[in-house]
Structure 1
Amino acid sequence: MPASSLSPYTLNNGTPTPTAAHSQPGTEVELQPYTGGDSEREVPAQATDRSERPRHIFSKHRKWMTVYMVSIGGAFSALSSNIYFPAIDTISKDLGVSATDVGFTITVYMIIQGIAPSLYGSISDSRGRRIAFVTALVVYLAANVSLAFTSDLAMLVVLRGLQAAGSAATISISTGVIADIAEPDERAGFMGTNAGIRMIGQAIGPVIGGLLNSAWGFRSIFWFLSVFSALVLLGLLIFLPETQRTIAGNGDVPLRGLYKPWSYYFKLPKEWRNAPVPPAPKLEKLSWRTIVEPLTYVLRMDILVLLSWGALVYTIWSMVTSSTTTVLLKTFPDLTQWQVGLCFLPNGIGCVFGSVCTGRLMDRAFKRAETRYREEHGLANVNVKSQHDFPIEHARLSLMPYFSVIFIVSMALYGPSYDFNDLRRHFAGNLVASLGLQFIIASTATAIFNINSTILVDCFPDNSAGATATNNLCRCLLGAAGVSVIQPMIAKLKIRNAFLVLTGIAVVFSPLVWVQWRMAEKWRRNRLGA
């Protein structure tokens, strides 16, 4: 029956139930075939056992392989940002400019890093993940090759912006792929692993950058990124199938053209072998509306509060990270470029630790909340997230207060920790307190980012790339402002006082966590008209 002739409601055991076409936006509705009667209709998954039609036909092993693949592709944003930090002093000397001028390239990178995913996220949600991923990596590869020939500051600024335009987009696209294939109780684990792998670039990037810079100069960093991105691009072309659900369904729709990975030309998935190739899908027309619409999510109170706290934490963490080279060389002037790169390891390892651990903890918290909800409502084998009264915010946010408190306490100690180094600053042991606190700051900040990202995907599972891009925009624009003022703050207030000011700002805005816990469910239900 044509979609236009469907009633907005189908009967579910005698009870009218909205069809997917008329359900509220932002809810997760999985369609199941309706076999009662002689018409072909569809009813939401809450009326049936979810196992009858999984979110995606991939096996658990194949899902994990896909998560690993797109996460490596998504690692370029953090890697490109942090591999650059140990070379700031070298770049300023090579190009004959100040460290503040080179720091401006970091600000530009973060601004573009915030804006670009809004465009790519809309392309990903409307035209497909695979096309958006390949386009972003081609732009990124071209930028890196050009950066290897940098000869002046203006060229560096422009090309770093182009590099950010390619690398940052991969985050929202990889999140979109995960949203396409993950069941609700798998999502936090996949998201945590995705963030953890991406943050490996945060951990090893400065070490690689310090090594390459000390051996062959800062331009070798961009040659390394060129080769790495070319290999990842080739891997995605060979192995990554399209997962966008309008195009690929739940994986059982045979793909064609650019949506089909090269490996499928040699061996088709078994689910496709007897299936006819469908006509080209009719995709939503890409317009400014599709690009701008995800940005309107910020106008919804539950999303606004969530993004505000996450953006503030991201900004403070970015200010800690971007100032590390300057702070270390000011406090320990005898450190080599290689040693400065090694000093970024605690921060990066903290990001990986926070991402992976938070994903697993959130999965457990979600399953406990899901079990409790089923028992209280007498439900079985139902997609509980499609129920408007399921407390998804409490299921996801239960860990947020703990991480937020630890983050604030660590920030309060971080600035003063450099005062401990005054007596014997030539010993590396004096760095333990400061770098140990960087580990804690990074792990708790990343945990907060991971919780925010997971809730956003929960709220907008069918527009996950756009929602992630909006999150990225808020964080990066505020982060760019923070990074642009941290060096003047340190120069004027000194290290200790500068970071104590940031701690005070975090304390002032920390009640947002409590507001989100108490009010988010009510705001969400009002937004959905439930």
Structure 2
Amino acid sequence: MPSQVRSGSDQGGESCNYFDSRTTTSGPTPDEALKSPFQESDVVDNVSEVEEPPEPPEPPYHVLTRRQKWFVIVIIGSAGLFSGLSSNIYFPSLEAISQDLHVSLEMVSLTITSYLIIQGISPLFWGSISDALGRRPIYMASFAVYIIANIGLSFSPNFAVLMVFRGLQAAGSASTVSIGNGVIQDISPPSERGEFIAFYQAIRNFSIAVGPVLGGLLANFLGFRSIFVFLLILSSIVTTVIVVFLPETMRSIAGNGSLRLGGVYKPLIRYLTKEADGTEDPEGPFTRNEVTLATFVEPLRLLVQRDILVNLMFGGVVYTVWSMVTSSTTGLFKKHFHLSELQIGLAFLPNGFGTIVGSAIAGKLMTRDYLEIEETYKSAHNLAETEKLTAKNMPVDFPIERARLRRLPWIILIFVVSTGGYGVCLNFPSVTSLTGWIAVPLALQFLIAATSNAVFALNQTLVTDLCPGKGASATAINNLVRCGLGAIGVAFIESFIASTGPAVTFLALALITVAVGPLAVVHWYWGQEWRAQRVQRRDDGDDGKTTA
């Protein structure tokens, strides 16, 4: 007897499990497939009046309901908090660390540069393994590293220990971003992906808003080591949630979520409730993909693809400028406005809220733009309105590049003007000494953060679209480019400001952004052609190791 499809909303009082996804042998009708995941759905059993049974509908991209997908996004977003939180919670305590460990402020600033470098490199390791072995085991392994690092930092007696465990902390936390983007690609088709990635980035960026405030409070009242105790407790809670609730989503392992899994791939809640994980048995015994040197080299191959490279470089420059604005805030605001550590922490709030607002707006715009272009494409090619375009069946002539980049010009215009104006408004002591003038650079920081993070959302979503099946690796290589360029910028920003002043420094950064603008123009006009050529090479067997 066929079992009934159960969505996240039709379980009633029987179960509160978020991942009860039982499929059917008969499947939903096309009309039912269009219903909201929050509506009741009935299985039609009587088809005797139909002379010929209709063709079975395509299986869903993923069996999770929309509500269940959002639950997964919240979990991986909470995990992704630690990459930004570990970095930004640290900024207000730099001077306290300098005094406590008896080293110069310049030496302490080196921990920021080293953190960015390791943050850029480590996802190549973790992300590549997660694309081979699955998401759950790598989440647990990376958080184990992160927890160990925070234990060491909580007792750091000298600068050397701080430097070593700070690097280990970066290695454990940075990978959560790339793995999370891999999860989003696993569970969502392109039509949903923009909204999910933007929300995922927004929930992670929440740490940028609250991190400096928390760091200032903890450093002021409990000492800088209390920051790492706080991170230790918080990361332990999130790790527990991952172990208990997060399902394995890697499509080569779990398919569309309908395969029964065991061992580390099965959430602990399934063992406790003794519920089956999925409805279908894998074909044949499960074997893990072999991890070799090629596993770690594979993401680097993406850099030889022209469309991917120009996208990464443009996003990397914008990230570098934003990082230089953020990392120089402590020194500039302490000099011009004479703020305490706690007040400096509060001064980071506009920057943090800007990251959230920018990501959220970008997500809404990307979803709207994609649906509009998808509708136009279907109409021009006489495709059924109900047909869904996924990464698996997306035609090479579908303009995914323009669906993601069409809002970029006005976003970059605001970013460039705000960056140049930010430096000018901090350049003249006679102006910065005016009562209330601090509101001007703070407002500009909000605009810089909002527009830069809107660019990041567009940039990351497009990179993910261009690398189907390699979500974690694509994010890892994106992270490598961003953090590599960002580390260089952060290492020299203080010297630039000291030698030329904030006006010249940030005007120059604004002009650099304008100078790399043609990269986005090139991608707009030739990206689709390059993507089609890559797919053709793959189909011909000449580019078998390169993601299409």
How do residues 344-355 of structure 1 correspond to structure 2 at under 5 angstroms? 344-355=348-359
Give the distance between the partners of 1:173 and 1:462, measured in 2 at CA. 12
1:464 to 449, 471, 476: 471
* 374-383 or 162-171, larger mean C-alpha shift: 374-383
Offset at 1:65?
A: 0.4
Q: C-alpha deviations, 1:317-350, integer Å up to 9, x for none?
A: 00110111011111122x1111100000000110
Deviation at 1:422, TM superposition (A): 2.5
What letter corresponds to residue 529 of structure 1 in structure 2?
Q
Aligned-pair CA distance for 1:368: 0.2
Counterpart position of 2:447: 440
* Residues 1:402 and 2:410 aligned together: yes
Match for residue 155 of structure 2? 149
Residue 232 of structure 1 aligns with which residue?
238
Structure 1 residue 387 corresponds to structure 2 residue 391: no
- Counterpart of 2:6? none
Task: Map Cα deviations across residues 103-158 of structure 1 (whole Å, 9 max, x no partner).
Answer: 11000000000000001011111000000101111101110111011122221111
Q: 1:296, CA displacement in angstroms?
A: 1.2
Q: CA deviation at 1:270?
A: 6.9
In 1, the alpha carbon distance for the partners of 2:65 and 2:277 equals: 12
Measured after TM superposition, the shift of residue 102 of structure 1 is: 0.8
Once residues 418 and 187 of structure 2 are traced to their aligned partners in structure 1, the CA distance between those partners, rounded to angstroms, is: 37
Distance 1:494 1:57, change over 3 A: same
For residues 231-265 of structure 1, what are the alpha-carbon distances to aligned partners after superposition, in whole Å with 9 as ceiling and x for unaligned? Answer: 00011000001111111111111110000111011
Contact preservation (8 Å) 1:134, 1:237 = yes
After TM superposition, the structure 1 = structure 2 runs for residues 301-380 of structure 1, keeping only pairs within 5 Å, are: 301-333=306-338, 335-380=339-384
CA contact under 8 A between 1:213 and 1:221: conserved in structure 2? yes
**TM superposition shift of 1:423:** 4.5
Aligned residues of 1:421 and 1:430 also touching (Cα < 8 A): no
Residue number in structure 2 paired with 1:422: 430
Shift in CA distance, 323/253, structure 1 to aligned 2, threshold 3 Å: same
- Counterpart residue number, 1:132: 138
Q: 1:50 to 1:503 in 2, by over 3 A?
A: farther
1:506 aligns with 2:510: no
Structure 1 227/50 Cα, relative in aligned 2: closer, same or farther at 3 Å? farther
Q: Which amino acid aligns with 2:61?
A: R
- The letter for the 1-side match of 2:216 is G
Decide whether aligned partners of structure 1 residues 271 and 125 sit closer, same or farther in structure 2, where only a CA change above 3 A counts. Answer: closer
Which residue number corresponds to residue 451 of structure 1?
Answer: 458
**Structure having greater relative contact order (Cα 8 Å, sep ≥ 6):** 1
TM-score w.r.t. length of structure 1? 0.88
Equivalenced residues, count: 481
1:88-237 map, 5 Å: 88-237=94-243
> CA deviation digits over 1:381-413, x for unaligned, max 9?
334351110000011111111111111111110
Q: Is this contact kept in 1: 2:370–2:403, CA < 8 A?
A: yes
Deviations 1:164-216 (A, max 9, x none): 00000000011111111112211000000100000000110000000101111
**Mapped partners of 1:93, 1:438: distance in 2:** 29
Q: 1:523 aligns with which of 518, 527, 530?
A: 530
- Among 473, 477, 490, the alignment partner of 2:497 is 490
Q: Structure 1 residues 379 and 337 mapped into 2: Cα distance closer, same or farther (>3 Å)?
A: same
Structure 2 unmatched runs, 5+: 1-24, 26-53, 538-548
Go from structure 1 to structure 2 and tell me whether the alpha carbon gap of 1:123 and 1:507 turns closer, same or farther (over 3 Å shift): same
Q: Which residue of 1 aligns with 2:84?
A: 78
Secondary structure at the aligned position of 1:384 is classed as: coil
Name the structure 2 match of 1:290: 295
Provide the rounded CA distance (Å) in 1 between the counterparts of 2:260 and 2:108. 49
CA contact (8 A) 1:49 1:382 kept: no
Contact map agreement 1:50 1:382 (CA 8 A) in 2: no
Does structure 1 retain, via aligned residues, the 8 Å contact 2:496–2:505?
Answer: yes
Paired residue for 1:3? none
Structure 1: gaps spanning 5 or more residues: 1-32, 34-47
- Measure, in 2, the Cα distance between the counterparts of 1:423 and 1:258: 60
SS in 1 for 2:437: helix
Q: Is the 2:425–2:432 contact (alpha carbons within 8 Å) kept by the matching residues of 1?
A: no
Distance 2:142 2:334 in 1: 35
Distance 1:264 1:326 in 2: 51
In the TM superposition, what is the alpha-carbon distance from 1:467 to its structure 2 partner?
Answer: 0.7
Provide closer, same or farther for how the CA distance between residues 260 and 316 of structure 1 changes in structure 2, counting only shifts above 3 A: same
**In 1: Cα distance, 2:519 partner to 2:251 partner:** 34
- Tell me which moved more, 224-233 or 385-394: 385-394
Give the deviation of 1:295 after TM superposition.
Answer: 1.0
Greater displacement, 418-427 / 387-396? 418-427
Distance 1:49 1:112, change over 3 A: farther
- The aligned counterpart of 2:438 is 431
Letter in structure 2 aligned against 1:433: V
Tell me if structure 2 keeps the 8 A contact 1:191–1:454.
yes
2:33 corresponds to 1:55? no
Question: How far does residue 94 in structure 1 lie from its aligned partner after superposition?
Answer: 1.1
User: Percent of aligned pairs with the same residue?
Assistant: 44
Within 1, Cα distance between the matches of 2:327 and 2:509?
Answer: 14
Indicate conservation of the 8 Å contact 1:420/1:430, yes or no. Answer: no
- The superposition leaves residues 60-82 of structure 1 with CA deviations (integer Å, 9 ceiling, x where unpaired) of 10000001111110110000000
Distance 2:64 2:452 in 1: 32
Distance of 2:275 and 2:414 partners within structure 1: 47
CA 1:419/1:494 → structure 2, altered by over 3 Å: closer, same or farther? closer
